[in-house]
Amino acid sequence: MFKNIEGQRVPSVTFKTRRDHNWVDQTSDDIFAGKNVIVFSLPGAFTPTCSSSHVPRYNQLQPWFKANGIDEVICVSVNDAFVMSEWALSQKADRVNFLPDGNGDFTDGMGLLVGKEDLGFGKRSWRYSMLVRDGVIEKMFIEPGEPGDPFHVSDADTMLEYLDPQAEKPHDVTVFSRPGCPFCAKAKDLLRQAGIEYEELVLNRDYTDRTLRAVAAATSYPQVFVDGSLVGGSDDLERWLQESGKIASRDAA
């Protein structure tokens, strides 16, 4: 079992970071003093769970964390500054600060430096998250000490649940579109009006019509999916937004 150190100060270390092609030393005080910070730490950059689940969801929920008084969301890994910078770019996670703990000093001070020699990783961080206020650890979510790379409690949704149990989480929205489609433009404009973020998949760039037929049994554009369900085209989306109270209906106007 790993020791929970809630109520204690974060380790005092110096992080070797890069900024505009220059080395920049950042101390623990630089990062945590006078701030409310969420940290999530993981075994390694570019690794499967870290890239597919851990980082993207923290990046997505960052505005919800900010609304709850969080100044910064930080991803820590025992990797060097170059690797962390490239990983941040590949993830398109511009709302998260990727902080390199290259020598493992911070992770060791947290008591969460573990041996991954069986994978050829050397020493890495155990997966965890924590809420830090002015350098003091308020809450920790440490993954259980079981074989492999457990991912049960250090996720972004668990942290948001702790901060705000009543928070309405964002919708997961994808728009299947095609170039030059006015109805696609309407759907995207409706989502922007409602303040809903979305991902767009463009025909013959990201998918073919075969994919659209396979997932939506449709050949018209756009096709909008919300939280795992097909809403439909732009008119269907407009009705859904009106019924959900996210935009005013035309009748009400």
Map out the domains of the chain with their CATH numbers: 14-163 (3.40.30.10), 173-243 (3.40.30.10)
Phi first, then psi: give them for residue 64, nearest 5 degrees: -70, -40
The answer to whether the Cα torsion of 122, 50, 126, 40 is positive or negative is positive
Q: Are 176 and 212 contacting, i.e. CB atoms less than 8 angstroms apart?
A: yes
Does position 108 have pLDDT exceeding 50, yes or no?
A: yes
Over residues 64-87, mean pLDDT: 97
CA atoms of 98 and 76, how far apart (whole Å): 6
Q: Is 181 a known active-site residue?
A: no
Give pTM, 2 decimals: 0.89
Residue 209, pLDDT above cutoff 90: yes
Q: Is the pLDDT of residue 251 over 90?
A: no
Hey, how many other C-beta atoms are within 10 angstroms of the C-beta on 173?
19
Strands 22-27, 223-226: pairing kind: unpaired
Cα torsion for 102, 106, 108, 109, to the nearest 10°? 160
Over pLDDT 70: what percentage of the chain? 98
158 phi and psi angles, rounded to 5 deg: -65, -40
pLDDT 10s digits, 43-61: 999 999 999 999 999 999 9
Q: What CA–CA distance (Å, rounded) separates 27 from 17?
A: 10
- 185-to-7, 67, 158 alpha-carbon distances in Å: 50, 29, 35
205: tokens are: 């760039």
Q: How far apart are CA 241 and CA 233, in angstroms?
A: 12
What number is the average pLDDT over the span 149-160? 96
Give the SS3 label for residue 194.
Answer: coil
Residue 73 φ then ψ, to 5°: -115, 125
Residue type present at position 47: T
Q: Is the pLDDT of residue 14 over 70?
A: yes
In angstroms, how far is CA 151 from the centroid of its own chain?
A: 14
Per DSSP, the residues of 55-113 read HHHHHHHHHHHHHTT--EEEEEESS-HHHHHHHHHHHT-TTSEEEE-TT-HHHHHTT-E
pLDDT at site 250: 64
Res. 253: pLDDT tops 80? no
Residue 30, classed as helix, strand or coil, is helix
User: How do 72-77 and 36-42 pair as beta strands?
Assistant: parallel
Do residues 222 and 184 touch, judged by C-beta distance below 8 A?
Answer: yes
Structure tokens, 1: 């079992």
